[in-house]
Amino acid sequence: YRKGSCNKGERRIFGMNLIIVSGVSGVGKSTIVKRFIEENSEKYELARSVTTRKARTENEYYTFVSREEFQALLEEGAFLETNLYQGSKELYGTPGREVERIVAMGRIPVLEIDVNGKRQIESSADQNYFSPISICITAPPATVYRRLMARGEPMKNIVQRLKTAVEEINIADEYDCFVENKDLETAVKDMKAVISGKSATKRPDINKYRNELIDLIHIIQNTEGVGISG
Ligand code: 5GP
């Protein structure tokens, strides 16, 4: 495992059989992953996670269960990884069966999970004969802000999410590849290129990115009450 390089993509063209996608709240990762899968559905499939959180919209790709059901699955050893997500205090997990089903179909499973899940998958990779490649999706802070605003959440929550993003960006360093969400089409194309090893990833300047997020938080806090335009 070579920290700070995406050469893994090139080395693993034949061995790679599992893709992990993470990114802070508001970067647009679900939209990118959904489009990527739609365009490459013969080769990739999104693994359906199990969660105890309530459904927000109709077309969310989760299996929704109660705490008791989740606990029972956990005791059966059904999960490859699980996480108690601090943002919602709810449980999430990737069922091993789901990943096996996708592999049996001859496709590559794509796991949209957080960094805790990524670490668990990686530490059990050899034992499970996985060869995961991890992608971190980033977006310019202005884009993150615009997307969070579009969800119609109170400004307080948006600032909280941005603050969480400042914390979370620290872990970006441990991902193999990066895709910046400047616009959807480009991001989907870049994701494909990075996965196939055709393009080396552009490692973002994490310090610069963190500072931009902090600046944005300051601007929001200073303009709050005087009206903010997207
Ligand atoms: P949300 O509630 O916004 O759908 O998801 C919250 C966070 O949990 C996101 O970072 C999402 O990627 C992550 N997540 C979704 N499913 C799983 C899973 O099965 N395992 C882990 N570890 N994280 C997940």
Point out the ligand 1 atom lying closest to the alpha carbon of residue 88. Answer: 2
Which residues line ligand 1 at a C-beta cut-off of 6 Å? Answer: 49, 53, 81, 83, 85, 87-88, 92-94, 112-114, 116-117
Structure tokens at 191: 């994701």
Question: Among all chains, which residue has been given the structure tokens 């903010």?
Answer: 228
| Segment 27-69, tens digit of pLDDT | 899 999 999 999 999 999 999 999 999 987 778 899 999 999 9
Model pLDDT, residue 150: 85
Instruction: Choose the weakest-confidence range: 51-55, 57-61, 120-124, 133-137.
Output: 57-61
Percent of the chain with pLDDT over 70: 88
- Residue 109 DSSP class: E
CA 123, 188, 185 angle in degrees (round to 5)? 160
Residue 92 CA to ligand 1 center (angstroms) comes to: 6
Distances (CA, A) of 131 to 8, 19, 93, 108, 113: 10, 9, 19, 11, 16
The crossing angle, in degrees rounded to 10, of helices 206-223 and 155-168 is: 160
- Mean pLDDT over 156-182 rounds to 85
Nearest CA to ligand 1 atom 13: 113
Q: Tell me the per-residue pLDDT of 141-153, one tens digit each, with 9 for 90 and over.
A: 888 888 888 877 7
Q: 73-98 pLDDT, tens per residue?
A: 999 999 999 999 876 789 999 999 99
8 sits in which H/E element: helix 7-11
- Per-residue model confidence (pLDDT) at position 36: 97
Q: 227 C-alpha to center of ligand 1: Å?
A: 32
Ligand 1 atom with least separation from CA of 21: 12
Atom of ligand 1 nearest to the CA of 87: 6
The answer to whether residues 44 and 184 touch, using CB atoms and an 8 Å cutoff, is no
Q: Which range, of 4-8, 16-20, 195-199, averages the lowest pLDDT? A: 4-8
* Closest atom of ligand 1 to CA, residue 116: 22
